[in-house]
């Protein structure tokens, strides 16, 4: 390889490992330093191209795939998820056309009609707003209780890190997890935990705390809001015992910083 | 059922291993973070549908990048009327460690964004994907010699642009 060939190659592929290129780089007093300089330039280009990736991207891909997988299995059994569930998925992942607005309106109506408040101890407008938020989110992602996905611990930890909480232990029985925007850009975590008494939906709403436990009913299921550090834990499950189990798992595994 | 479960585990492994690279490549194809996220998700969902066609996981990255390119072309067709020219660097996450927020890096990113597409694409494949000239040629459907020329010109042009800005 002569100097001209080397230069051509170095500008096209500065990290070339072909023997002729490597030999010339070692032997030629002019070309060697030029190649080193181009390699350094390539590292700069690499850092320029290193656009940061959203922490929860892998988790969202897995969540979406879990739904698709579930649909495929349902289809294999000769049935499919309902049209409503499909729409909810689309809404979650932002792929819906014009009916989104109509669905949002429907969800709001559903809230007004569907959120039947039980014996409350907390009371107050803020509690009602949080109940509404939890019920709305539950309705929007109702499919979440129907899927079963593997959630790597690192993905789960990244979801909690978004609002300054650390995952220290293992949250047992996670069958769904997604870092969701709750309101005004505030990210929370939506989990579904499998317990011996059935699946419990757990929604962590950071930065908005209830004063004390508040019971509620969401779509004929019991639920409650409970203080969770500087936020609120919304639990919706088949009964109080199942929600107790889910709450205990959350408190044991997560540390607020 | 066992086969499905294995495929699912394999898929999840690929997501963990390659979602970041797929996102970065997608970003440099479409220049928009939101679209890059969507593109990445679509890419993996399409990959799932044909995961049985991937015989060797060593070829997974190349296979995924091919899907990204196709999917981008498809989405570009769909959305070209809404496309914006500006690259949304200010929204790509300026607080994380791996993302260099220095002025020099910003200037470099701008220069990369301004490179003609035919020069930038092989460069991105080489630097992000770690591909050889032959592999890039296969990806882009052009001859290896043409890839060499484009890479040569891409770096020359980039250096020229950065030099001009320094002056």
Helix (H) or strand (E) holding A214: strand A214-218
Give the burial string for A95-110 (b: 16+ CB within 10 Å, else e).
ebeeeeeebeeebeeb
Considering only alpha carbons, which residue of chain A is nearest residue B107? A48
Do residues B126 and B151 touch, judged by C-beta distance below 8 A? Answer: yes
Flag whether residue B96 sits within 8 Å of chain A, measured between CB atoms.
Answer: yes
Collapse the DSSP code of B102 into the 3-class scheme (helix H, G, I; strand E, B; otherwise coil) and give the result. coil
| Residue partners of A186: CB distance under 8 A and separation at least 6 | A163, A205, A206, A207
- The 10s digit of each residue's pLDDT in A26-82 is 889 989 899 999 998 888 888 888 788 887 788 888 888 887 777 777 676 655 445
- The 10s digit of each residue's pLDDT in A114-138 is 444 443 334 443 788 888 888 888 8
Residue with tokens 């798992």: A249
Model pTM score: 0.58
Of B93, B127, B151, the CB nearest to A46: B127
Flag whether residue A11 sits within 8 Å of chain B, measured between CB atoms.
Answer: yes
Residue A148 has pLDDT above 50, yes or no: yes
Q: What is the mean pLDDT of residues A160-189?
A: 84
Q: What size, in residues, is chain B?
A: 167
Give chain B positions within 8 Å (CB) of A151: none
Angle between helices B117-127 and B133-140 (to 10 degrees): 130
Q: Which candidate, A154, A102, A107, places its Cα nearest to that of A134?
A: A107
Report how far residue A145's alpha carbon sits from residue B79's, in angstroms, rounded to the nearest whole number: 34
Flag whether residue A4 sits within 8 Å of chain B, measured between CB atoms.
Answer: no
Give chain A positions within 8 Å (CB) of B159: 41
- The ipTM, to two decimals, is 0.77
Collapse the DSSP code of A164 into the 3-class scheme (helix H, G, I; strand E, B; otherwise coil) and give the result. coil
User: What pLDDT is recorded for position A81?
Assistant: 44
Flag whether residue A37 sits within 8 Å of chain B, measured between CB atoms.
Answer: no
User: What pLDDT is recorded for position B101?
Assistant: 59
């Amino acid at each position: 390889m002569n100097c001209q060939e080397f230069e051509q190659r170095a500008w096209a592929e500065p990290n070339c490992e072909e023997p002729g290129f490597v030999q010339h780089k070692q032997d030629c007093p002019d070309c060697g330093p030029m190649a080193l300089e181009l390699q350094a330039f390539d590292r700069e280009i690499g850092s320029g191209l290193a656009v940061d990736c959203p922490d929860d991207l892998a988790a969202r891909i897995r969540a979406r795939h879990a739904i698709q997988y579930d649909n495929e299995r349902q289809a294999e059994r000769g049935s499919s998820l309902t049209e409503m569930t499909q729409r909810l998925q689309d809404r979650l992942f932002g792929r819906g056309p014009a009916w989104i607005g109509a669905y949002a309106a429907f969800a709001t109506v559903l809230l007004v009609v569907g959120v039947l408040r039980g014996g409350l101890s907390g009371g107050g407008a803020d509690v009602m707003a949080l109940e509404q938020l939890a019920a709305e989110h539950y309705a929007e992602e109702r499919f979440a209780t129907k899927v079963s996905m593997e959630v790597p611990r690192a993905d789960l930890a990244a979801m909690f890190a978004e609002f300054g909480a650390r995952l220290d232990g293992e949250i047992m029985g996670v069958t769904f997890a997604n870092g969701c925007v709750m309101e005004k850009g505030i990210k929370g975590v939506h989990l579904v935990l499998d317990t011996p008494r059935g699946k419990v939906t757990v929604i962590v709403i950071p930065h908005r705390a209830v004063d004390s436990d508040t019971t509620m009913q969401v779509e004929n299921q019991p639920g409650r809001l409970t203080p969770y550090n500087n936020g609120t834990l919304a639990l919706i499950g088949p009964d109080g015992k199942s929600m107790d189990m889910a709450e205990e798992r959350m408190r044991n595994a997560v540390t607020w910083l | 059922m066992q086969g499905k479960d294995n495929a699912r585990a394999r898929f999840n492994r690929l997501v963990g291993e390659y979602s970041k690279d797929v996102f970065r490549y997608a970003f440099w194809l479409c220049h928009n973070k939101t679209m890059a996220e969507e593109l990445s998700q679509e890419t993996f969902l399409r990959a799932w549908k044909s995961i049985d066609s991937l015989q060797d996981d060593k070829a997974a990255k190349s296979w995924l990048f091919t899907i990204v390119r196709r999917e981008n072309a498809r989405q570009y067709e769909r959305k070209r009327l809404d496309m914006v020219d500006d690259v949304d660097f200010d929204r790509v996450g300026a607080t994380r460690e791996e993302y260099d927020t220095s002025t020099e890096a910003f200037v470099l990113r701008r220069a990369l964004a301004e490179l003609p597409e035919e020069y930038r694409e092989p460069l991105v494949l080489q630097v992000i994907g770690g591909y050889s000239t032959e592999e890039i040629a296969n990806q882009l459907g052009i001859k290896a010699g043409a890839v060499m020329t484009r890479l040569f010109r891409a770096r020359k042009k980039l250096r020229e642009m950065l030099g001009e800005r320094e002056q």
